[in-house]
Structure 1
Amino acid sequence: MKLHVVKISVICLMFFASAVSFAQKDFQGKAYYESKTTLDMNNFGGGDMSEERKKEIAQRMKSMLEKTFVLTFNQSESFYKEEEKLEAPGGGSGRWGAMMSSFTAGPQYKNVKNQLLLQEQEFFGKKFLIKDSLPKLNWKMEGEMKQIGQYTCFKATATKTVDASGGVLSFRRPSNNEEDETPKTKEIEVVAWYTMQIPVNQGPDDYWGLPGLILELNADRTTILCSKIILNPEEKDDIKVPSKGKEITKKEYEEVVKKKTEEMRQNFRGGQGGGGRR
């Protein structure tokens, strides 16, 4: 019991000491995240596709599934964007590169004070501005702690409803009546590790709402890990508010993607129908 009280006291002292140092109006930080997603190859042909073909697709999609993002944040706002880097020769060119870029998240702005999310998104040549309220998760504080770099982190978990396909375009041939039986959504567990040494309720992607910056996050097949943090850099960046594209809600944008995905799936199956190459 005494040990538990001491632990809570240390946590409270850590929080208040950090809160004082981060209270300055011009405070800003930058966090670099490495994001990796494993691919369910059943979405790309299942038993109909050779292992060689699956490996080829997995290699082509590697650049889309392994990325580095930068989160620039202050007390109430953040801007999350993929870090710019040189494209590998042949890695993102041609029709394949154009298609994959349409399924890559664009720059995202979060304002936790106003509960606002804005994201610029290009999808098959059309530019959209997704404008919506911040998605809320019912975080459950767990009792576990661990060290990530120099930061003491605490565990929190939540349940989230997501697209059953994982957001990856599926070209798999369904069996008889499978389309009617396959669930459209699924429940996943989200595990986050946050640090109260940086007392801002920001995090990577559209995750937020904890009493400290999220440094690690695991959600289904995706792991996001913070690799570097810079606090109060000498040259501060403007936290940009996205403004380009046709304004649309997140639900409306998901419907656009769903319609286009189904169209491409039907075209793909039609091309393989009459004895086409698999």
Structure 2
Amino acid sequence: MIKKLLSAVIICIAAGLVSGLYAQNISGIVNYRGEMNKKYVDSFVVALNSNKEIPMSTKQAVTRMYRDATPDTYILSFKGAESYYYYVKPLEDETVPYNVGSKAGLTSYYTNNKTKEMIMTNSGLGDVLMNKNIKWDITQTSKKIGKYTCYKAIFANQTYGKKKTVAWFTPEISVNFGPKYYKGLPGLILQIETQMFSLTATKVTLNPNESDLKIERVKNRKQLISMEEYSKRATEIRENHRKQR
């Protein structure tokens, strides 16, 4: 009981620190390792093999791709009120015909806490001004990730289906950033767990050299599109692909 009370106090203190983030000059670089979850791969392979319309050779090839998928690398850079999260493209390996990767996406995200903006960059559809507001349920469950004590939080408003998303954040680093569009907790998010993939911090560098920080801002704000326009364009692309089959 006492431990839980102390944990709650720590989290509340951290929340206060994060709310005053703008007055601080906190900066950092976080490397994340993205991996497909084994349970997801297993269920995908079962569903694939149960489809009688797919040739056996195709099933075997796709199964190998999923079983042999290599992890992806992502980087989160943050300084003051801004953060930038992006995918790190690996060196091409001609011996590997295709890498499924982690299924955690290739999209970049720019966040500005002062303006309360989050912008998603999609190479095919442009820059999207997101209106995503994540509501977290913070628990007292804790674990260590590296040297940091992290607390478990659950994604409450399931915008993208009923499957829960779990975040592990550390109040020891008082910024409210995290990978992808996951943010808003009283501490840096070091791990995200979804049904399909996980993102886990493998290296945290605080107050790095200024030249190592990569924060890309939108160059032409007039070309920003809304989430509604993004969804419309994505639907049109899917329909065009379907018609071309």
- What TM-score results when the alignment is normalised by the length of structure 1? 0.69
Whole-angstrom distance in 2 between the partners of 1:2 and 1:60 = 49
Q: CA deviation at 1:220?
A: 2.1
Query: Unmatched 5+ residue regions in structure 1?
Result: 163-185, 269-278
The alignment's C-alpha RMSD in Å is 3.6
Contact 1:60 1:91 in 2 (8 A): no
Whole-angstrom distance in 2 between the partners of 1:110 and 1:65 = 28
Distance 1:137 1:120, change over 3 A: closer
User: Paired residue for 1:32?
Assistant: 31
Contact 2:134 2:155 in 1 (8 A): yes
Whole-angstrom distance in 1 between the partners of 2:95 and 2:239 = 27
Q: Matched residue of 2:164: which SS? A: strand
Contact 2:108 2:180 in 1 (8 A): no
Larger Rg over CA atoms: 1
1:199 and 2:163 equivalent?
no
Report the residue type matching 2:170 in the other structure. T
Q: Please give the per-residue CA displacement for 1:29-49, whole angstroms capped at 9, x wherever unaligned.
A: 000111123453558993321
User: Paired residue for 1:87?
Assistant: 92
Q: Matched residue of 1:194: which SS? A: strand
Q: CA deviation at 1:26?
A: 3.5
Distance 1:242 1:140, change over 3 A: same
Equivalent in 135, 138, 153 of residue 141 of structure 1? 138
Q: CA deviation at 1:249?
A: 1.6
User: Paired residue for 1:156?
Assistant: 153
Contact 2:48 2:59 in 1 (8 A): no
**Larger displacement relative to structure 2 (83-92 or 202-211):** 83-92
Distance 1:129 1:13, change over 3 A: closer
Q: Matched residue of 1:187: which SS? A: coil
User: Paired residue for 2:202?
Assistant: 227
Distance 1:54 1:106, change over 3 A: same
Whole-angstrom distance in 2 between the partners of 1:244 and 1:44 = 47
User: Paired residue for 2:129?
Assistant: 131
Contact 2:25 2:80 in 1 (8 A): no
Q: Matched residue of 1:224: which SS? A: strand
Q: CA deviation at 1:197?
A: 0.6
Distance 1:260 1:55, change over 3 A: farther
1:260 and 2:233 equivalent?
no
Distance 1:84 1:73, change over 3 A: same
User: Paired residue for 1:109?
Assistant: 110
Q: CA deviation at 1:200?
A: 0.5
Q: Please give the per-residue CA displacement for 1:258-277, whole angstroms capped at 9, x wherever unaligned.
A: 22223323433xxxxxxxxx
Q: Please give the per-residue CA displacement for 1:193-249, whole angstroms capped at 9, x wherever unaligned.
A: 000011111000011010001111112212111111100113442522033694322
Contact 1:161 1:188 in 2 (8 A): no
Whole-angstrom distance in 1 between the partners of 2:194 and 2:229 = 23
Contact 2:120 2:130 in 1 (8 A): no
Distance 1:110 1:250, change over 3 A: same
Whole-angstrom distance in 2 between the partners of 1:138 and 1:15 = 17
